[in-house]
């Protein structure tokens, strides 16, 4: 549903902004890659559901550590490329997330 709104918005901006949309065939060229990504996401979703049923505690800990690593990695990437406006918010989110997890560690 959201994708339809985005597509309609892009079409509207293209029409009103004077951008010619006559070359729309490039979307069809990428349909194979899009279908492959959809298929991979479905398979990964089923794998995640299977793993969360088999070992819930391990999966929860893995996702917590993975999320922290992702946040820290994005903060470091922001500072490395010189984008302080990206690095500082991700670093703040990382610190707040870590503090919340430390405070709630007995309840996980």
For 7-33, how does the pLDDT look when each residue is reduced to its tens digit (9 = 90+)?
Answer: 555 555 555 555 555 555 555 556 677
Phi/psi at 19 (5° precision): -85, 130
* pLDDT at res. 29: 59
**Which residues in the chain show pLDDT less than 50?**
1-2, 5
* pLDDT at res. 39: 87
Q: What is the pTM of this model?
A: 0.58
* pLDDT at res. 105: 81
* pLDDT at res. 36: 84
Burial group, residue 108, by CB count within 10 angstroms (0-12, 13-18, 19+) = exposed
* pLDDT at res. 22: 54
* pLDDT at res. 92: 95
Query: CB under 8 Å to 50, separation ≥6 — which residues?
Result: none
């Amino acid at each position: 549903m959201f994708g339809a709104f985005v597509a309609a918005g892009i079409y509207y901006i293209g029409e009103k902004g004077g951008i010619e949309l006559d070359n729309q065939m490039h979307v069809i060229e990428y349909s194979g890659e899009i279908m492959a990504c959809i298929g991979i996401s479905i398979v990964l979703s089923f794998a995640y559901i299977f793993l969360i049923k088999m070992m819930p505690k391990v999966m929860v800990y893995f996702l917590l550590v993975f999320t922290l690593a992702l946040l820290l990695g994005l903060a470091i990437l922001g500072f490395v490329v010189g984008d302080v406006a990206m690095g500082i918010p991700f670093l703040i989110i990382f610190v707040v997330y870590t503090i919340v997890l430390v405070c709630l560690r007995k309840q996980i």
